[in-house]
């Protein structure tokens, strides 16, 4: 077993895990933060995207031990003081989700995109979320949702 200490959504979390434990399973199983989802096993779909030290990362492609000492933000940590994050607001306003399974990862990727490119063009948005699959929406309302959030900044 290996000891990991990760700051998750602002709180330090320490646990003993198998060294092979994926970060996503550490979040979901050890910390019960089930908002982060698993949609594939080859790092394509992006459902598991979280922010590690402010940068988007596919948490199915990292071991928990690799996140030791890092700061991780998951979908559960995005709203502040009961106030939805502009991206969460955008997804709600613009019908940016249907089944909701890809949504947490999609929002975290979009957060990374907007921190790099606060006023993205539509093409930049579509490229920026190309590491995230959505099977329900055809992406158009997701693009609108990210534009909504960009407009609020």
Nearer to another protein, 16 or 18 (CB): 18
CB of 111 to another protein, least distance (A): 12
- The CA distance from 91 to 82, in Å, is 16
Nearer to another protein, 69 or 99 (CB): 99
Q: Which of helix, strand or coil describes residue 127?
A: helix
E-only strand ranges, the chain: 2-8, 11-17, 49-52, 55-58, 71-73
User: If binding is defined by CB under 8 A, does position 102 make contact with another protein?
Assistant: yes
User: If binding is defined by CB under 8 A, does position 44 make contact with another protein?
Assistant: yes
User: If binding is defined by CB under 8 A, does position 58 make contact with another protein?
Assistant: no
Interacting residues of 55 by C-beta distance below 8 A, sequence separation 6+: 112
User: If binding is defined by CB under 8 A, does position 65 make contact with another protein?
Assistant: no
What is the DSSP secondary structure assignment for residue 85, as one 8-state letter? P
- Cβ distance 59 to 49 under 8 Å? yes
CB of 95 to another protein, least distance (A): 5
Nearer to another protein, 72 or 91 (CB): 91
User: If binding is defined by CB under 8 A, does position 64 make contact with another protein?
Assistant: no
**In the block, which residue shows the tokens 């000891």?**
3
Choose which of 57, 58, 137, 150 interacts with another protein (CB under 8 A): 137
Phi-psi region of 135 (alpha: psi -120 to 50; beta: other; left: phi over 0): alpha
**In the block, which residue shows the tokens 């939805």?**
84
Nearer to another protein, 68 or 133 (CB): 133
Give residues in contact with another protein (CB under 8 A): 18, 20-21, 28, 33-42, 44-45, 47, 74-76, 78-79, 84, 88, 91-93, 95, 97-104, 107, 122-123, 125-127, 129-130, 132-143
């Amino acid at each position: 077993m290996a000891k990991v200490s990760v700051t998750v959504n602002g709180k330090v979390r320490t646990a003993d895990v198998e060294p092979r434990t994926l970060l996503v399973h550490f979040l979901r199983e050890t910390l019960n933060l089930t908002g982060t989802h698993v949609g594939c096993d080859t790092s394509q779909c992006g459902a598991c995207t979280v922010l590690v030290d402010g940068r988007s990362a596919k948490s199915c492609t990292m071991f928990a031990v690799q996140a030791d000492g890092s700061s991780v933000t998951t979908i559960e940590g995005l709203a502040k003081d009961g106030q939805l994050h502009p991206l969460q607001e955008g997804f709600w306003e613009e019908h940016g989700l249907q089944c909701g399974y890809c949504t947490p990862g999609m929002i975290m990727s979009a957060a990374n995109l907007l921190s790099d490119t606060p006023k993205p063009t539509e093409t930049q948005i579509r490229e920026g979320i190309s590491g995230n699959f959505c099977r329900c929406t055809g992406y158009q309302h997701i693009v609108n949702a990210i534009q909504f959030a960009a407009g609020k900044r």
